[in-house]
Structure 1
């Protein structure tokens, strides 16, 4: 009995080799001998017009709960959102009942490599805060243009910038008499964080008004207090007042 060559397990990536040999005039049986495949495998590869057809099966055609959300995932991917966890959170808010794993698998298998329509990256909150708190005359022209474009995507940002600059004007030009009017205007806005700040100012309105009206400041005293506190913590339980006094006087 003639010895047959060992039959190796074929891989779908060999489909291109099968098609190349067929185009060169080799028979299917000859290709099976050359590649160590079974004849049925060569026949299946020769009938496949593209590699993905080799993976067709009943399990691939089953409907899943993700099907209704796939158009949304495709759209968000084209818009530039490539974070599978964020995409899962968005469709979960729309009613998707399953877990994160299915979304991650779909993004990995179907979306990676697809073109995206990525626009300019929006500025960070830190950058916008810096632009608002910087004096307009000190802003670079590029920053000024970006700050002018930002309120288009956030309705309350223009109001926030206006109130922040009004407060900065009071602070730098010592116009504390305007503080009450500023607090009243902030209370009428829909800016919860700024409203909380205004309520805190009202708790000690006289002191804040004085601080915004006079050139004197307790900043130097506060600096010395902050310098002494670490020394007190270091000396706690180790020595008496005399040694602490020497350390305070010498630590300049």
Structure 2
């Protein structure tokens, strides 16, 4: 029998076992071999400690990696043997679960999804499900009838499956998903209120030097024409599905156009990599006011700048640092507000007012002065955040939902309507300490394992490597 290596060499034990022969003709078994209580398993050619060592290495690293590691330690074994050892081991029975966390993960992104189950008391994964259907979850929950708390997002199948499979359990909506949904609503408001941002930009535009280089508009005339046609059809109560089919557009985009007065901008200027070299550029301009762009470009390339010659020229003009022939010219830029995507500027509405920088506070104040809708949205968001993190109490949630529903902000009204559909679980998110944070962490671990095996492993192997891995 193979055993753990000794002094860097593979070891083999020669075991003598007694055999007994039955002389009864009617007996179906003729040979009885001696069994051993410890260290040696029937039909195995490895000791228990070698078997356990191989199992642990295979669970930690997978097939090929485990084979290479074992070879380094003088344990000759193939990757298929290691995977077979893992496959034959049964999953350990989980202890009694009191609090359960549920979330989805992508088996194949945008096509097929599964579910991960985590014991929130220990933060350990306890199982994987091959889909995210309510019947699958409810069947799993019925087999474990003592679950008292279920933390989940607001996915409908998880809500119905939890109710059907564990009616005695308290359901808790994940706080992070609530803030994420609210953040998406704020981003849509900022896209709709682009006119207010544009008004701020125009009021803050600096004095322009001769022959400025103006940035091109990002929307083509055809896009603007299509936007006006969609708005006209919406005013005529043409169904959104029909408009989407006619213009080959997404229904989400058409719903966004419904609340916009002008075509929203999509993307703004992105960083070019010049920002970290600006101090050096200022220093060189001060040392040599007549420095040429080609010489400066060569010096920056030596410092790690990877932009092209023309990119450097445009970047210096944007920062009023043009050199050579373009020295003294200035590019007219939108204000700092317009450089931010709505997804970034929406974060200002959620940050603690005490932790905002001076520039961020100024941006937020100007936004609220330019738009009554944004000012009202900021008030609602801060009240929601106060209830969730500082008060940690849902006492004022019903009143908050009522006031938001009575407002004229369709994005927040839709968010409030969604809260009402799952109100009990949302209130528990405010009142109870449970959350899906540990579940999200285990999803990251699951993705790492899946990519380590190039996405080709079976669900059974993936589950064993996740659940049986040491904490």
TM-score by length of 2: 0.28
Task: Give the TM-score normalised by structure 1.
Answer: 0.49
Greater RCO, CA 8 A, separation 6+: 2
Structure with larger Rg: 1
Structure having the larger proportion of residues in helix: 1
The structure with more strand, counted as a fraction of residues: 2
